[in-house]
Amino acid sequence: MTHVAVEGEESFVHPALFYQGPWEYLAGTVPFILQGLAAGEPVAVAVPEPRLQLLRDVLGDNAERVRLLDMGFAGRNPGRIIAEVLRATADAHPGEHVRIIGEPIWPSRSDTEYPACVQHEALINLAFRGRAVTILCPYDVAGLDPVVVADAVATHPVLIQRGITWSSPDYAPERIIDHYNQVPPEPPHPMVLAFDAARLRAARRSTAEQAQRAGLDAERVEDVVLVVGELAANSVRHGGGAGLVRTWTDADHFVYEVQDAGRLEDPLAGRRPADGHQLGGRGLLVVNHLADLVRVHTRPDGTTIRAYFHLQNRRL
């Protein structure tokens, strides 16, 4: 039985669990869950199906004592996981040591999603520094590309495989954040609209029309308009007073992008839960909540943010 957290311990622990097949998965996750329950600690599990069902079956009645979430639904957009899954769990139990299993990367994740996934794993270390939380992240090493496994070594200070625990020799989350701050691939033939404060309404209207033509239903078109409004307003307030909107569709998504001259300095912007008394600063949090994927690229002379909306009308 692998022990990666001590009841009442006050430091953040973030191990990667490397597994092959269901038996290694269960051997690395079930003892972690049962140790937490035995110690009276809050426990949450956010992993994709069918792993979630596998854990339900093995835990039996104990599953009722665990907060269980399908990461394929709750975390399809990696940008919402810290605020809506991890912090939502930890913040609900102040003063207690909390255990969470979070599996944000699985073999069917797309190349478009992956940079946001690995940046998320790196940013967990900043978001929970000093917190009494242990977040165990399983990695299917049989199904994942070796680059993904190497990145996991860089984003997790502790590694576990087949019951053996060791310190990562290549832990460097800041390097991963910088490395995946990549220029997204150039889209073919996007619709382009320049905007400023006087043209915010036109930007929202144009994007809504493009979303309707792409086939999104009325509810998702409303979400697109909210996202457009938040990002364009941020550009006017913080990005030099103006920006550039581009919209297009790919095989699976309607995509909205805004470019401006602002510099996004805080890597956790849009990933912290909003304070109940907070009047502003919720824009990127709203964007992450509504979009199916958000990609951010910062550069010395500006910022590009892309929001993806699934064309299957799958509200995640």
Amino acid residing at 289:
H
Residue 305 has, within 13 A of its CA and on its CB side, a CA count of: 27
Domains of the chain: 15-179 (3.40.50.300), 191-310 (3.30.565.10)
Q: How confident is the model at residue 6 (pLDDT cuts 50, 70, 90)?
A: very low
pLDDT at 183: 83
Q: pLDDT band for position 270 (50/70/90)?
A: very high
Instruction: Give the pLDDT band of residue 188 (cuts 50, 70, 90).
Output: confident
pLDDT band at 11 (very low <50, low <70, confident <90, very high): confident
Report the percent of the chain where pLDDT is more than 90.
84
Indicate the SS3 state at residue 127: helix
- Please state, in angstroms and rounded to a whole number, the distance separating the CA atoms of residues 86 and 187: 33
Give CA–CA dist 188/186, Å, rounded.
7
The 8-class DSSP code of residue 87 comes to I
pLDDT of res. 211: 95
* Per-residue pLDDT at 314: 42
Once rounded to an integer, what is the mean pLDDT over residues 305-316?
76
Region 230-250: mean pLDDT is 92
Taking the whole predicted model, whether its pTM rises above 0.85 is answered as yes
Residue 235 above 70 pLDDT?
Answer: yes
Strand ranges (E), the chain: 15-19, 43-47, 67-70, 98-102, 133-140, 158-161, 164-167, 191-196, 242-249, 253-260, 293-299, 302-310
Q: How confident is the model at residue 97 (pLDDT cuts 50, 70, 90)?
A: very high
d(CA 58, CA 68): 13
pLDDT of residue 277: 56
pLDDT digits (tens, 9 = 90+) for 15-40: 999 999 999 999 999 999 999 999 99
Predicted pLDDT of residue 201: 92
Of 230-239, 279-288, 296-305, the least confident: 279-288
| pLDDT 10s digits, 67-91 | 999 999 999 999 999 999 999 999 9
Longest Cα pair distance anywhere in the chain, in angstroms? Answer: 62
Please state, for a pLDDT cut of 70, what percent of the chain lies above it: 94
Confidence check: pLDDT of 316 > 70: no
What's residue 2's pLDDT?
43
- For the four alpha carbons of 47, 115, 123 and 238, in that order, the dihedral sign comes to negative
Contact 269, 284 (CB under 8 A): yes
Top-confidence residue, 128 or 188: 128
Q: Residues 247, 227: contact at Cβ < 8 Å?
A: no
